[in-house]
A and B are shown apart, each in its own frame.
Chain A
Amino acid sequence: MSYLPYAVAAWLCLVGLFGVATSRNLIHLAICLTVTQSSSYVLLLAVGYVKHGRAPIFKGIKLGTPAVDPVVQALTLTDVVVSVVVVALILALALDAHRLSGTVDPDEIADISG
């Protein structure tokens, strides 16, 4: 078993979070969010991977042939859909922020505090 995919997943998650926390541009920030989210795709696929496994299509193959886990692929697909919706919404809000204030810097649209 290789630890590389897990290391990549951890790196993507942390670097994405760092980007979200320090970003000065909402569009950049939305991309950082997708980077964070990508870590869960890598992790899911790594979890379900079987060495020398086939694609999980079981029609016409011998019983007992190793195949990768189809569940994690379904989870990843759902995850992608969910993430796209959230990012689309944030981009729409970034557009509104720009229309109203001429900036997409989250620090400058911070109108309310305390």
Chain B
Amino acid sequence: MTWIPPLLVAIPLLGAVFAAGLDHITPTVVQDALVVAASAATTAFAFLLLWHAENHEVVHWFGGWQTRHGVALGIDFAVGPLAAGMCAVIGIVVTLALLYSLTFLREAARLFDALMLVALAAMCGFAMSGDLFNLFVWLELMGVAAYALTGFTVERLGPVQGAVNYAITNGVGGYLFAIGIALLYARTGALNLAQIGNTLSHGPAGGLVIFAMTLLFCGLLIKGAVVPFHLWAADAYAVAPSPVCAVLGGVMTDIGLIGVARLYWTVFDAPFGHGHAVGDVLLWLGLVTAVLAGVMAFLQRHLKRMLAYSVLCHIGIMLAGIGLLDSAGLAGAELMFLAHALLTAGLFFVAGILHVDHTRIDELHLHGLGRGCWVPAAAWLAGTIGLIGTPYIGIYLGHGLIDEGANHVGRPWVIGLLWLGSALAGAALLRAGARIFLGWGDADDPLLGEPLEEDPRERRVIRPLLVGVAVTAVVLGVAVSLVPGLGQRAEYAADRFRDRSGYAARVLRDRPMAPPQSLPVTIRHTSFESLLYGGGATIFAIGLAGIGLYRRRLPHSVAVAAGRTLAPPISVLRGLHSGVVGDYVTWVAVGTAVTGGVWALLLHG
């Protein structure tokens, strides 16, 4: 079955070539059908790959350059259940986004479809690659497609700013990654991940490896929009067209985290796996991201910007799950990725529908305008509840498994903070939903800052199609925690993903892997503690959303005291998100230096 992995890249790339090349020759219907078919076929093959990756890592060596005596000569795709599952989710989200954009972006050139397919191919390639330099190439390819997609509608300054900030910050990230590759190659003489890991497992690691790891991880964390490398994300997501946001926010940001996990468990687990220093730094970055992004989400009035911060919040939780360096934590991150990708995409789709209906995307401008749109309202509510992690809805199971992981490795204090993050972001989304679809709350709130310029363009769309796509995404996302057997399979995939020596033996020596025991097909239950946290987070989010809506009705003394304590930190936070790319690059440099310094201290001492 080693012929499947290359298809996940080849099909969308060929589709992109045809979409771009035959633009003026074929009728629009054929074009649309071709593009959607390419994306759907990629998804179908990803599921087939998932099926085959159950027993063994599926390894494909390009051009038949097999290994000789355990030395990699060629370049490989090595796909386990986690990578194949990622590809399947990416395929679903891109297919939904393409369906949505059939009418939403009808006036856009066919290059849009081509760029989306290139992004799909690059994301799949990144998830499957077993070669360090290939990771870089896929990373840059998806980046370039994404910059172009962000600045796709350049009729206002906003998209230009968003795309410029995105391209420059991520460009710098790519260069850090490239330098990290060069250093690691200098140290090990290998580019194959399994082989680098094997080489580093002999002898002490030294400062060079720590330096290389810092550059590689920070490069990926820029892509993954983790604090303090996250500043570009909200600018880019606020201006990109909704279907593009669904892809960027739903799956592309998360790709950076998968890169971190992949590199850690194939390479850096070998020299640093005996301690917990690498994981703890990632855990802290994740915690800060989750809480800070939750707060920032609550301070937004632009729906897509709010959703962007909600994405960052979940990114933080997933990074914390990975940073626990535990199977349950990684499995939780996987399940959260799955649910959050679909739900976030669904909410971006709903935001797009509101924009089409009312040519507005601002929570306060839309006040009460959504009354009577019951289907989008229900989708928004379900998506929001799913993103908080109310018991057995949406991301709940992911949260629950991360809780288990935190207890395993003796860091139970992270659990509350992670739930706080998703509750804060959820409160913002609930507040926006109540204001828009129910007309609750005040029509103005100075806490939320100035309105952003809005795109006044009218669109002629097939509205039922947009609503259908949005509902599909939300329903799939909400159901994740209730799919029988999914939790157990995620844990098994995480175990396989973390097995460095098993992976290396499979890739370099073609050894069979230990076959899985039969996994039960029941709903994975979580601890009672998670149930309490999930319920508590939901109540907290509803309460906070209520305060957000009716802030003026608070007793005067409480309001004054809260304003006095909260106003300075809020204005500092807002000031940090300045929209100027020079500041962002400075934060990247500082963040990289500090992260590297901490690792040097912890790992060398």
Question: Within 8 Å CB of A110, what residues of B?
Answer: 161, 578-580
Q: Which chain A residue has the least Cβ–Cβ distance from B448?
A: A114
Interface string of B572-587 (1 = CB under 8 A from A): 0010011111110110
Question: Within 8 Å CB of B235, what residues of A?
Answer: 112
Question: Within 8 Å CB of A22, what residues of B?
Answer: 582
Q: In whole angstroms, what is the CA distance A20 to B232 when docked? A: 15
Say yes or no: B167 contacts A100, CB within 8 Å: no
Identify the 10 closest CB pairs spanning chains A and B, nearest first. A113-B579, A110-B579, A47-B186, A114-B574, A40-B178, A21-B585, A82-B140, A43-B182, A96-B154, A21-B586
Q: In whole angstroms, what is the CA distance A15 to B154 when docked? A: 32
Say yes or no: B182 contacts A96, CB within 8 Å: no
Q: In whole angstroms, what is the CA distance A47 to B239 when docked? A: 42
Known: A43-B183, A110-B161, A112-B161. A78 touches B137 (CB 8 A): yes
Q: In whole angstroms, what is the CA distance A96 to B174 when docked? A: 24
* B18 interface hit (Cβ, 8 Å): no
Binds A, one of B21-29, B37-45, B143-151: B143-151
Within 8 A of A (CB), among B219-243: 234-235, 238-239
Question: Within 8 Å CB of A85, what residues of B?
Answer: 140, 144
Other contacts beyond A23-B582, A93-B147, A93-B154: 9, CB < 8 A: A89-B148, A90-B164, A97-B161, A100-B155, A107-B580, A110-B161, A110-B579, A111-B156, A111-B161
Q: In whole angstroms, what is the CA distance A96 to B261 when docked? A: 38
Instruction: State which of A23, A29, A96 has its C-beta within 8 Å of the C-beta of B151.
Output: A96
Q: Which chain B residue has the least Cβ–Cβ distance from A79?
A: B178
22 contacts between A and B (CB under 8 A): A9-B179, A17-B172, A20-B172, A21-B589, A37-B178, A47-B185, A72-B185, A78-B133, A78-B137, A86-B143, A86-B144, A89-B167, A96-B154, A96-B160, A97-B157, A97-B164, A101-B157, A106-B164, A106-B580, A111-B158, A112-B235, A112-B238
* B181 interface hit (Cβ, 8 Å): yes
Question: Within 8 Å CB of B155, what residues of A?
Answer: 100
Say yes or no: A44 contacts B585, CB within 8 Å: no
Say yes or no: B140 contacts A86, CB within 8 Å: yes
* B191 interface hit (Cβ, 8 Å): yes
* A13 interface hit (Cβ, 8 Å): yes
Say yes or no: A20 contacts B582, CB within 8 Å: yes
Known: A47-B185, A86-B174. A100 touches B156 (CB 8 A): yes
A92 → B minimal CB distance (Å): 8
Known: A23-B582, A75-B133. A113 touches B164 (CB 8 A): no
Known: A21-B586, A97-B160. A89 touches B578 (CB 8 A): no
- How many positions in chain A have a CB within 8 Å of any CB in the partner chain? 42
Interface string of B290-304 (1 = CB under 8 A from A): 000000000100000
* B453 interface hit (Cβ, 8 Å): yes
Which residues on A are within 8 Å of B, measured CB to CB?
9, 13, 17, 20-23, 26, 29, 33, 36-37, 39-40, 43-44, 47, 71-72, 75, 78-79, 82-83, 85-86, 89-90, 93-94, 96-97, 100-101, 106-107, 109-114
Known: A86-B140, A111-B453. A93 touches B163 (CB 8 A): yes
Q: Which chain B residue has the least Cβ–Cβ distance from A44?
A: B182
Question: Within 8 Å CB of B185, what residues of A?
Answer: 44, 47, 71-72, 75
* B346 interface hit (Cβ, 8 Å): no
Interface of B is mostly: helix
Q: In whole angstroms, what is the CA distance A101 to B159 when docked? A: 12
Within 8 A of A (CB), among B439-462: 449-450, 452-453
Question: Within 8 Å CB of B453, what residues of A?
Answer: 111
B398 → A minimal CB distance (Å): 30
Q: Which chain B residue has the least Cβ–Cβ distance from A36?
A: B175
Q: In whole angstroms, what is the CA distance A89 to B34 when docked? A: 27
Say yes or no: A114 contacts B585, CB within 8 Å: no
Question: Within 8 Å CB of A21, what residues of B?
Answer: 582-583, 585-586, 589
Q: In whole angstroms, what is the CA distance A110 to B137 when docked? A: 30
Q: Which chain A residue has the least Cβ–Cβ distance from B234?
A: A112
* B383 interface hit (Cβ, 8 Å): no
Question: Within 8 Å CB of A83, what residues of B?
Answer: 175
Question: Within 8 Å CB of A112, what residues of B?
Answer: 158, 161-162, 234-235, 238-239, 305, 452, 579
Question: Within 8 Å CB of B136, what residues of A?
Answer: 82
Q: In whole angstroms, what is the CA distance A39 to B174 when docked? A: 13
Listed residue (B151, B162, B585) with the most chain A CB atoms within 10 angstroms of its CB: B585
Q: In whole angstroms, what is the CA distance A113 to B452 when docked? A: 9
Say yes or no: A47 contacts B182, CB within 8 Å: yes
Known: A79-B178, A111-B158. A33 touches B578 (CB 8 A): no
Q: In whole angstroms, what is the CA distance A9 to B579 when docked? A: 30
B23 → A minimal CB distance (Å): 19
Say yes or no: A93 contacts B151, CB within 8 Å: yes
Say yes or no: B171 contacts A33, CB within 8 Å: yes
Listed residue (B156, B160, B453, B582) with the most chain A CB atoms within 10 angstroms of its CB: B160
Q: In whole angstroms, what is the CA distance A84 to B223 when docked? A: 19
Q: In whole angstroms, what is the CA distance A111 to B158 when docked? A: 6
* B505 interface hit (Cβ, 8 Å): no
Say yes or no: B452 contacts A90, CB within 8 Å: no
Known: A40-B179, A110-B579, A112-B235. A82 touches B137 (CB 8 A): yes
Say yes or no: A114 contacts B157, CB within 8 Å: no
